[in-house]
Amino acid sequence: MGSNGFEVKRLSGAVGAKILGVDLAAEPGDNVTATIRQIWLEHGVIFFRDQDLPPAKFLAFAKRFGTVVEYPFIKGIEGFPEIIPVVKLEHETKNFGGIWHSDTAYLERPPMATMLIAREVPPYGGDTLFANTYLAYETLSAGMKRMLDGMIAVNHSAKADVTRTREDRLRDGAKMEAKKEYISEHPVVRTHPETGRKALYINIGHTVRFKDMSEEESAPILAYLFQHQARPEFTCRFSWRVGSLAFWDNRCVLHNPVNDYHGFRRVMHRVTLAGDTPR
């Protein structure tokens, strides 16, 4: 039990914690916000249950942690352009972002963080997996670390289209920007600007090759690293209920929504917080 009267329970040994006993709609003060941020930085992703957060309150809570930015590819919900609907309908078989990734890593300044709140959930399935990329880096061999330190990864939105990690998929509601292609170059090993820890900053959804190497040359190393990032001991799994909220750090955490609820509807609302240029 923390000094602010709420309880923190870890989801796994690697990543993730639930925060119990806090009502986010009550507009937590600066002290509570600061404590939540420290817990978030420590665990990479934090979860809250049974939160009554209509769009205005959801947005207000997000703004306590950073600048909310509009997703560049798909329109927000009515009256709240910063809140993006993440929806899989009953007749659909593909879900949004159904592969390990960090949100929009193909942008020059990828988002610092993402918040996702559940509005409608299926009767079973639809969990989300999270992976700690600090651990992915720290458990590499000394030789692999020496090779990767200083290397640059090329990330491309065209791969995001193929891997379905761009939520728009040029559906109804997509902005004109959805048809653009985005390419970014980021360090393979990223230093977190707040914690100072190093993380393996690549992902199978967006990373296509290493700078100054071909895709064919890069492929064997990337294949190993993608598999390594998702080792079970680096992960946690979160089961959603209506009113559940997840808040994850895109600088050191990957996520993967599990697509195992065909025939049922799942509706989430998402906001992203502005980040910096990875270094």
In the numeric block, the tokens 């048809």 are attached to: 179
Cα–Cα dist 234/131, whole Å: 5
Distance CA 223, CA 204 (A): 8
| Nearest alpha-carbon partner for 259 in 103, 92, 102 | 92
Looking at the predicted structure, is the pLDDT value of residue 179 above 70?
no
Which of the residues 119, 255, 266, 269 is marked catalytic?
255
pTM of the model: 0.93
Which helix (H) or strand (E) segment holds residue 247: the answer is strand 245-249
CA gap 135, 61 in Å, rounded: 29
Distance CA 239, CA 37 (A): 22
Active site residue 255: yes
**CB atoms inside a 10 Å sphere around CB 41:** 16
Span 94-133, pLDDT tens digits: 898 889 999 999 999 999 999 999 999 999 999 999 999 9
C-alpha–C-alpha distance, residues 43 and 9, integer Å: 10
Query: Does residue 270 have an active-site annotation?
Result: yes
Q: In this structure, what token pair is assigned to residue 274?
A: 């502005």
Q: Are 267 and 85 in contact (CB under 8 A)?
A: yes
- Identify the architecture of domain 7-273 in CATH: 4-Layer Sandwich (3.60)
Handedness of CA 61, 86, 243, 245 (dihedral sign): negative
Out of 43, 101, 206, 209, which one is annotated catalytic? Answer: 101
The pLDDT of residue 74 = 82
Task: Round to whole Å and give the CA distance between 249 and 89.
Answer: 27
Rg of the chain, C-alpha, whole Å = 18
Over residues 240-276, the pLDDT tens digits come to: 999 999 999 999 999 999 999 999 999 999 999 999 9
Residue among 103, 119, 168, 186 flagged as catalytic: 103
